[in-house]
């Protein structure tokens, strides 16, 4: 009896009609079927996988999102597959993202909790030829089987995702993951959530992005995590490789998490010609006894700032010690203790004098959401901090100069009046601050 694989290829002879496109199609079908015939068993898990909206809008491959869902479903590894609302949709364990860059479409699978990348490979590229039309598909059978194998029960990637899920659940203390994403993500949409530009990756760009929304004994810092997730998306669009961008949210944004990434990971990776971007959204806190200021990590306690928080002065010192050619710090926080994204120890009155927010080294370019005596605010209709929303708006091109570059000064010129006006509409004052020596180009379009 003829073997199944032999029958597949012998059947191709009947499909060869002299038309190269039909011959290519027959070969492609045979290869796919052979891959299925030779595939091994895959171990099922209780992991869920969401497909980012980017996969439904790939120009050269219509219906890619349907293809991904249908193919991965056949392997039986994932408990559930569905449509994600964005690339960090935590109603799923994993997210599939389909970025497009210079005619090449890639398929990226990452953790929905902390953005850890597990798989990234090109799946389609634009080509121009007599027989191949406008695009050519790569070995999809290999790609999807590799994904299924990567996350099979007991694999290193499976164990890592399970650990991140457990860490996130303990940090948020919400019990089982909701069937739908939190209201803050599913009901609020902003024109800044998805970048509409894409710049080729630069391996010398590094970033740490921190967003802390939930604290054990403090009110939520509204939209802080959403701000951080959106900033990460814009950094990826600006050419920061995903492997070079650390996103810290939930329990991962602890004091230890900040310290190890700022004080070990960055110095071990950043080179002299590199650039560094640090973003923080969350609570800031002043120490009334000495005018020291701190960023409050997820395990921070305003009663014991020196022991549990991360000093702003130390942040500046550690970043300034790097050998990078450019270091940009963006703080959507405030340090007055008067409200907004600022807290004081219980029983302590807010400061009425402007707090010295640490001496800034000359080599840092720093954007701060408000002056030391003011509080920050949010835009409820956009689901973002006021400062972060207009910062991203300007960075996306609204602040570019006549040469097509967004610089620190052009961004600040755009940002400042926008934030001031939005704050006045909420009956408060908020004036962003820029510290820079000279001018720094941030992105060029």
With bands split at pLDDT 50, 70 and 90, how would you rate the model's confidence at 315? very high
Angle of helix 408-424 relative to helix 386-393, nearest 10 degrees? 140
Judged against a pLDDT cut of 60, whether residue 356 lies above it is answered with no
Asked if 363 and 437 count as a contact pair (C-beta separation under 8 A), the reply is: yes
Instruction: Provide the 8-state DSSP code for 337.
Output: S
pLDDT per residue as tens digits for the range 149-170: 889 998 888 888 998 888 777 6
Beta strands in 112-218 (DSSP E): 117-129, 133-137, 205-211
3-state SS assignment for residue 163: helix
| Higher local confidence (pLDDT), 286 or 309 | 309
Judged against a pLDDT cut of 50, whether residue 375 lies above it is answered with yes
| Higher local confidence (pLDDT), 412 or 34 | 412
Asked if 387 and 332 count as a contact pair (C-beta separation under 8 A), the reply is: yes
Per-residue pLDDT at 103: 66
Q: Indicate the Cα dihedral angle 190, 191, 193, 197, nearest 10°.
A: 180
**CATH code given to domain 192-444:** 3.40.50.1460
Residues of the chain with CATH 3.40.50.1460: 192-444
Q: Which residues contact 346 (CB under 8 A, 6 or more apart)?
A: 302, 303
Lowest mean pLDDT across 105-114, 183-192, 223-232, 384-393: 183-192
Per-residue pLDDT at 99: 83
Q: Model's pTM, two decimal places?
A: 0.59
Per-residue pLDDT at 83: 85
With bands split at pLDDT 50, 70 and 90, how would you rate the model's confidence at 87? confident
| For range 166-182, the mean pLDDT | 49
DSSP count for the chain of H helices, then E strands: 14, 20
Give CA–CA dist 146/67, Å, rounded.
15
With bands split at pLDDT 50, 70 and 90, how would you rate the model's confidence at 334? low
Asked if 216 and 308 count as a contact pair (C-beta separation under 8 A), the reply is: no
Give CA–CA dist 371/335, Å, rounded.
8
Per-residue pLDDT at 128: 52
Asked if 193 and 261 count as a contact pair (C-beta separation under 8 A), the reply is: no
Judged against a pLDDT cut of 50, whether residue 28 lies above it is answered with no
Q: List residues bridging with 435 in a β-sheet.
A: 366
Give 133-146 as a DSSP string.
Answer: EEEEE--HHHHHHH
b/e map 248-269, b = 16+ CB within 10 Å: bbbbbbbbebbeebbeeebeee
Measure Cα distances from 61 to 28, 84, 110, 119, 147 in Å.
Answer: 16, 19, 21, 20, 19
Give CA–CA dist 280/141, Å, rounded.
41
pLDDT per residue as tens digits for the range 48-63: 999 988 887 776 677 7
Six token digits for residue 196: 């509409």
Judged against a pLDDT cut of 60, whether residue 266 lies above it is answered with yes
| Higher local confidence (pLDDT), 445 or 173 | 445
| For range 98-106, the mean pLDDT | 75
Judged against a pLDDT cut of 60, whether residue 172 lies above it is answered with no
Q: Which residues contact 97 (CB under 8 A, 6 or more apart)?
A: 52, 54, 55, 87, 107, 108, 109, 110
**CATH code given to domain 39-165:** 3.40.50
How does strand 94-97 pair with strand 48-51?
A: parallel
With bands split at pLDDT 50, 70 and 90, how would you rate the model's confidence at 269? very high
């Amino acid at each position: 009896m003829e073997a199944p694989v032999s029958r597949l290829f012998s059947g191709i002879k009947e499909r060869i009609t002299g038309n190269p496109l039909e011959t290519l199609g027959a070969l492609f079908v045979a290869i796919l079927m052979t891959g299925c015939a030779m595939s091994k068993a895959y171990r099922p898990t209780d992991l869920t996988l969401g497909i980012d909206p980017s996969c439904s809008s790939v120009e050269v491959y219509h219906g890619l999102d349907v293809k991904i869902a249908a193919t991965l479903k056949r392997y039986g590894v994932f408990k559930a597959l569905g449509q994600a609302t964005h690339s960090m949709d935590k109603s799923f364990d994993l997210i599939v993202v389909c970025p497009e860059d210079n005619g090449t479409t890639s398929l990226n699978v990452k953790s929905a909790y902390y953005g850890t990348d597990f798989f990234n490979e090109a799946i389609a590229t634009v080509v121009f030829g007599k027989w191949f039309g406008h695009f050519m598909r790569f070995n999809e059978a290999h790609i999807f089987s590799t994904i299924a194998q990567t996350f099979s029960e007991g694999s290193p990637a499976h164990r890592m995702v399970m650990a991140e899920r457990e860490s996130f659940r303990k940090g948020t203390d919400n019990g089982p993951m909701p069937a739908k994403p939190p209201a803050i993500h599913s009901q609020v949409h902003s024109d800044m959530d998805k970048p509409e530009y894409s710049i080729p990756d630069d391996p010398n760009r590094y970033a740490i992005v921190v967003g802390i929304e939930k604290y054990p004994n403090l009110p939520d810092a509204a939209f802080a995590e959403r701000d951080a997730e959106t900033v990460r998306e814009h950094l990826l669009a600006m050419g920061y490789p995903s492997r070079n961008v650390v996103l810290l949210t939930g329990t991962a944004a602890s004091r230890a998490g900040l310290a190890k990434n700022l004080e070990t990971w960055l110095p071990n990776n950043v080179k002299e010609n590199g650039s560094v971007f640090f973003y923080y959204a969350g609570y800031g806190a002043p120490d009334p006894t000495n005018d020291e200021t701190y960023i409050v990590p997820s395990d921070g306690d305003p009663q014991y700032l020196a022991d549990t928080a991360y000093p702003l002065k130390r942040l500046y010192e550690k970043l300034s010690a790097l050998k990078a050619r450019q270091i940009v710090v963006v703080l959507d926080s405030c340090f007055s203790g008067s409200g907004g994204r600022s807290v004081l120890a219980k029983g302590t009155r807010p400061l009425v004098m402007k707090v010295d927010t640490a001496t800034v080294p000359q080599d840092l370019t720093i954007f701060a959401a408000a002056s030391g005596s003011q509080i920050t605010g949010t835009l409820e209709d956009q689901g973002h901090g006021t400062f972060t929303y207009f910062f991203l708006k300007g960075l996306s091109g609204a602040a570019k100069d006549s040469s097509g570059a967004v610089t620190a000064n052009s961004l600040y010129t755009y940002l400042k009046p926008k934030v001031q006006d939005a704050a006045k509409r909420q009956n408060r004052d908020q004036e962003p601050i820029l510290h820079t020596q000279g001018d720094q180009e941030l992105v060029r379009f």
